[in-house]
A and B are shown apart, each in its own frame.
Chain A
């Protein structure tokens, strides 16, 4: 069975999917395509627009892993096979050393990965060089797609790749040697490795309380795209900060709404009263009157009920505004003070 993931990268994935469909027809195997848009509500292009051109591999990789797991679960398979070749594994070993990721360093050279409760993955082409695969595809006249991902030039992996290519020119066996080193390496006992548990939100495997995919997604949805990038210990702190800001915002908005309600009332009276000269004054705070006009149009019914409910409070509100009114523009307008001051100042005050 074939499984393909559509990350929503224009110019890369859409073209390669055509090739996959061709494979499905040639080999007569069923194909399932899952897309990031369906699973998470975001395409990679949209994500890159939020986060920029660096660090987007994190999003793509984390989402893809989960998407593969979901797809495999849907198809009810025993094992997932991927086409990682020797060059990929060697690059991964180098990258994990450069990034200091000990846990991944330990796992990345295994042929089968996976643990309790997850569908195992296997990399049957682990020992084949990329060059061998290209030659094989060439001689067997296989249909394939070979353009690299449009975001690849900015990826950190590019550095590891460049090093590997330079080393291969000098000593081609270094790729196998790196894989051998990775396999025979062992970690000191006292090093603490993360333990595996389940994400409290989506129930997939995770090493933290909330899995990375959920964290990244939350960050994107809340407009904090950097939430998942960087230390996982700081995620909670950032979220708390965000929530307090949201609360402050909400209380401020609430205040504004209360006053807006009074605005609607007074604007009505204002509109009724002010003609010509007076209207001009009122329109001095242009944006406000426009808003109130719109509000009036939309909330006429509501307005009626509100008027009834708030009649008393409105008077007191207006009095307060009169007292507080400092704007020189509206000072001399006593009758319209209620309107313009409450409209104008509240609009500005927030």
Chain B
């Protein structure tokens, strides 16, 4: 039972079913992955304000602990950031746990309510307390959620959170945001993105750096850490995780749950699945990154809107299919272009104008669009 790295005989931790590590080497390994991913990309400057987004689940619990350790080093290896902690409150149970977690390290926590999304502007919330919310806002937010199918809702919530993180980062004077996504969550996210048509945005959604916003950058420092390592870390350090997950939805009501189940079960039989998916994600890039023109951005997810390409794509195929299905049998000639414009406004509203493909699809599926009006009316 010897540790693979230091050859001491107190190896208690088994990774990947065959590698033995002692507790110290394991913790050092995880910390190293965290620090190297930040350092490798040379993003942070000196003593920058960084907004750390906590959800109370495993990933952010470990993120909190790693940051605390990194800040408490005395030597030149100390992490030079000023952390500001944020938690988006969705229900009052989780928020108490997260406040407790932060108190353990003596950190202050801002916790606005997620229904703030409904308004176009927000204020800095009071530190370390439950959010004071307007019931009207909550109702409007809930109506919006209920008008969406589960798949659309999941995707939309991801974008809501992103928008709110950026909003608060600007309010709290931070240039960077850290989120606690790990290999498993990112692998699932990649497949979900593919399935809803966000293939061109993979690098921003799943990669290390999300630089869609002009001023704020979102960083995922834990993208190389696996779920297995997370669980072992939490056990080793006796950290408390928010156990009350969001109510177990019925499996297979949304694409996200289907894909998540698929990835975990495939990983059982083919242990290299998740790491392969992550490597694939690293190789996919953005189209035309060094374009000098400023393109329009999607108002929901801030991705670049590319005008129609010359080559036919699935979008055109769907439009044509719809035109042909709606046409009466007797019509002979088709003026495809004219009809396309009419059709596009129903199946792909605002496509390439205000919304990207995926957001446009989602928008079309939402009943009587309950999305806050300020979003669609935003001009760039």
Contacts and interface: CB of A to CB of B under 8 A. Distances in A.
Contact of B277 (A100, A189, A191): A100
B258 interface: yes
Contacts of A185: 199-200, 202, 284
A44 interface: no
A186 B191 contact: no
Nearest to A188: B285
Nearest to A96: B280
A100 B280 contact: yes
Contacts of A94: 191, 194
B332 to A, nearest CB: 21
Interface string A162-188: 110011011101101111111111111
B197 interface: yes
Given A174-B195, A177-B197, 4 more contacts: A97-B190, A99-B276, A177-B357, A181-B195
A232 B313 CA distance: 34
**Of listed A94, A100, A105, A111, residue having the most chain B CB within 10 A:** A100
Interface string A292-322: 0000000000000000000000000000000
Interface in B257-282: 258-259, 262, 266, 273, 276-277, 279-280, 282
A127 B317 contact: yes
A93 B255 CA distance: 17
Given A94-B194, A102-B283, A159-B266, A184 B361 contact: no
Given A102-B283, A105-B280, A176-B314, A166 B262 contact: yes
Contacts of A1: none
Contacts of A176: 314, 317-318
A178 B194 contact: yes
Nearest to B287: A186
B69 interface: no
A98 B276 contact: yes
A191 B314 contact: no
Contact of A181 (B198, B255, B282, B285): B198
B188 to A, nearest CB: 12
Interface of A: 93-94, 97-100, 102, 105, 111, 127, 159, 162-163, 166-167, 169-171, 173-174, 176-189, 191
A26 B194 CA distance: 41
Interface SS of chain A: helix
Contacts of B242: none
B38 interface: no
B314 A179 contact: yes
Interface string B1-12: 000000000000
B193 interface: yes
A98 B194 CA distance: 12
Contact of B283 (A171, A180, A187): A187
B276 A181 contact: no
Interface in B81-135: none
8 contacts: A100-B279, A167-B195, A170-B254, A181-B195, A181-B200, A185-B202, A187-B283, A191-B283
B259 A163 contact: yes
Contacts of B342: none
Contacts of B254: 170
B285 A171 contact: no
Nearest to A93: B194
A284 to B, nearest CB: 52
A136 to B, nearest CB: 13
A239 B317 CA distance: 49
**Of listed B195, B197, B254, B259, residue having the most chain A CB within 10 A:** B195
**Of listed A170, A176, A179, A181, residue having the most chain B CB within 10 A:** A181
Given A100-B280, A184-B287, A171 B255 contact: yes
Given A167-B195, A176-B318, A180-B357, A187 B200 contact: no
B198 A100 contact: no
B32 interface: no
A148 B301 CA distance: 42
B157 interface: no
B290 to A, nearest CB: 10
Contacts of A182: 194, 199
Contacts of A178: 194-195, 197
**Of listed A163, A177, A182, A186, residue having the most chain B CB within 10 A:** A177
Interface in B195-209: 195-200, 202-203
Interface string B302-330: 00001000001111011001000000000
A167 B261 CA distance: 12
B285 A186 contact: yes
B286 interface: yes
A183 B313 contact: yes
B253 interface: yes
A177 B196 contact: yes
Interface in B230-257: 252-255
State the 4 A-B residue pairs at the shortest beta-carbon distance, nearest first: A181-B199, A188-B285, A177-B197, A127-B317
B185 interface: no
A187 B273 contact: no
B314 A180 contact: yes
Nearest to A179: B314
B313 A171 contact: no
A104 to B, nearest CB: 11
A159 B265 CA distance: 10
B151 interface: yes
A186 B255 contact: no
A105 B194 CA distance: 12
Contacts of A159: 262, 266
Contacts of A111: 312
A94 B266 CA distance: 13
A86 to B, nearest CB: 9
